[in-house]
Amino acid sequence: MTSTPAVAPTHSLRFAANCSMLFTELPLLERPGAAKAAGFDAIELWWPWPDQSVPADPSVDAFVSAVRDAGVRLIGLNFFGGDLTGPDCGVLSVPSRSQEFRDNVAVTIGIGEQLGASVFNALYGNRVDEVSSAEQDDLAAENLGMAADAARRIGATVLVESVSGPKPYPLRTAADSVAVVERVRADGHTDIDFLLDLYHLASNGDDLDAAIAASAAVTGHVQIADAPGRGAPGSGAIDLDRHLRALQDLGYAGWVGLEYKPTTTTIESLAWLPVDRRGAPTP
């Protein structure tokens, strides 16, 4: 199998390896080291314990040590969101599970404080039948405000993301998530931004050019995968390089998380990205 030649991106944004999607050939605690060996200086992850909002201290300590020992920075971490590969897609707007999110905030922020994380993704949660959409939105705003205040204490930011797929997740377009961000900010909680995931927005039929132009000012983090298929850049139809360049031209200077599903080994799937573009830029 011939790999696609590496072509340097035309923007200068930094890439971080999402170790919940990449390097999954390895156990979780070995992935940070594998990312470093592949040339990355930064990683991000979904919540590592999908069945535990508050894992045991030894599990947390082992995770923190694995990242530190690898010599990479954890730039982003999801709050607990339940089983993302199963029925769940966040819990903070679900009344019966809201306490799980609240219990998790201190743990997540604590991990981030130790490892230098600057953004924390708070998945909104699916619609449920027990209460009205308005009640769920009120609960979400309350919980997001609480999380944003906690993140502010360490100089970090909470993120709100639009997601694709068949689950009854209410935030589908960039405008949906930006509206939530603006509501929470209006309540006095300023440390909350939009997570702009180009794969999810494209999969939902959002106009990427319009979404980027409208949301760049409140975009706190970016993630990419190609669509359709959620594969590596170049495997689908999104001109990811052009869209990232547009974001940079509009003032975005943060990290870009590689949150795609390799169809081969992770290393082979990275052939599109030159090794010298995987680390942080030279000062």
pLDDT digits (tens, 9 = 90+) for 188-246: 999 999 999 999 999 999 999 999 999 999 999 999 999 999 999 999 999 999 999 99
283 is a domain residue: no
250 is a domain residue: yes
3-state secondary structure of 122: coil
In the chain, the percentage of residues whose pLDDT exceeds 90 is 94
Q: Is 113 exposed, middle or buried (0-12, 13-18, 19+ CB in 10 A)?
A: middle
* Number of structural domains in the chain: 1
Kindly report the backbone phi and psi dihedral angles of residue 28, in degrees, each rounded to the nearest multiple of 5, phi listed first: -50, -45
Query: Which one of 135, 161, 182, 268 is the catalytic residue?
Result: 161
Query: Which one of 113, 142, 259, 268 is the catalytic residue?
Result: 259
161 catalytic? Reply is yes
* Look-up of token digits 């009344």: 95
What domain range is 165 assigned to?
29-262
Q: Dump pLDDT digits (tens) for 115-170.
A: 999 999 999 999 999 999 999 999 999 999 999 999 999 999 999 999 999 999 99
pLDDT tier, 3 (very low <50, low <70, confident <90, very high otherwise):
very low
CATH of the domain at 66: 3.20.20.150
44 catalytic? Reply is no
Q: What is the pLDDT of residue 8?
A: 75
Integer Cα distance of 168 and 157 in angstroms: 26
Q: How far is CA 215 from CA 80, 184, 219, 231, 236, in A?
A: 25, 16, 6, 24, 24
17 is a domain residue: no
- First and final C-alpha spacing in the chain: 37
- Whether 277 and 16 have beta carbons less than 8 Å apart is answered as no
Integer Cα distance of 57 and 121 in angstroms: 22
pTM over 0.85: yes
